[in-house]
Structure 1
């Protein structure tokens, strides 16, 4: 009987320790999208046969890694039938004191993106957020919204590609947190 009590005590203390350490993990949250859930029409692209609002969702993050100098946010669809996925949004050099973006920050015309940040051309060919627009009948696509804590401000050329931007983000990432939302047409 004593051995099983010891095993229970070890199990409960392990669960407590792992839960306590998870509470301090870098995390990404949103009031408009959720992990494993389908996005709404406002996050659908407007164009290419899609008629959504093309509006980036509200995002907030917490438990930032120590020594973070800036943030980057990426939105990537690994299921796009391109052979290389599809970059829907890359915004870099978000100041380290910013821990949230309001809905619509990916639209350069409304000037909601933080001062000093830079939006990279998406795979539709313009800087800013481009919503979901998977081919009709192609099934469910995953949209990986990721915030990256960066060790430095990124110095990118004027017309940096999505691949180069991703490389530089990963080369200077102190940690990341993601929400994988879904969309289907």
Structure 2
């Protein structure tokens, strides 16, 4: 598939986002899978070159190739201090104990306030997990209790200064 969920997003300054766990466009490691062989662990991420005025980040992980309308949001965290510069692997663990101080995990499409590892259904081919860091002009993003991830994306719009996206691939069993 060629669908890029960020193609229609409002333009924003690009900055650098990288992971020690996978290369942009490359395969996600088994540790990022939610399978018997995987560890259901979110990847380590680091950023640099943030736009001036960046105070916090929102980090999301979205499978644009999930065989359901609208794709599947695997992970979302908000209020990540820009100065942190990185988050370590497994920052998406339930309870948020591996997140930088002040950051908050939101409920994903699977109903978990955690990272839910990739697990493409059999026969659905290669999936792309879009990991996005959005630089914001506020320290804290106000959201209603139990806000959807669609609401998160809407509320970010007036505060967005920059965006960086890296893509990891995962393969479904045949």
What is the TM-score of this pair, normalised by structure 1?
0.81
Pairs aligned (count): 159
Find the aligned partners of 1:133 and 1:177 in 2 and give their Cα distance.
24
Trace 1:143-182 onto structure 2 (pairs within 5 A).
143-152=129-138, 153-182=140-169
Find the aligned partners of 1:56 and 1:114 in 2 and give their Cα distance.
14
Partner in structure 1 of residue 93 of structure 2 = 107
Change (3 A) 1:168 1:182: same
Aligned-residue Cα RMSD (Å) equals 1.6
Q: Does 1:82 align with 2:87?
A: no
Give the match's secondary structure for 1:72.
strand
Deviations 1:61-111 (A, max 9, x none): 000110011111010011111111110111000112111001000003461
Computing the radius of gyration from Cα coordinates, the structure with the larger value is 1
What is the TM-score of this pair, normalised by structure 2?
0.86
How far did 1:129 drift?
0.7
Find the aligned partners of 2:108 and 2:96 in 1 and give their Cα distance.
18
How far did 1:150 drift?
0.4
1:92 corresponds to which of 53, 74, 78: 78
Contact 2:96 2:114 (C-alpha < 8 Å) held by counterparts: no
Deviations 1:120-163 (A, max 9, x none): 10111011211111111101110001111001121112201111
Change (3 A) 1:171 1:85: farther
Deviations 1:32-74 (A, max 9, x none): 011111111110024xxx6521100110000011001111101
Where in structure 1 do 4 or more consecutive aligned residues deviate above 4 Å?
none
Higher helix share: 1
Gaps of 5+ in 2: 1-12
Change (3 A) 1:130 1:170: farther
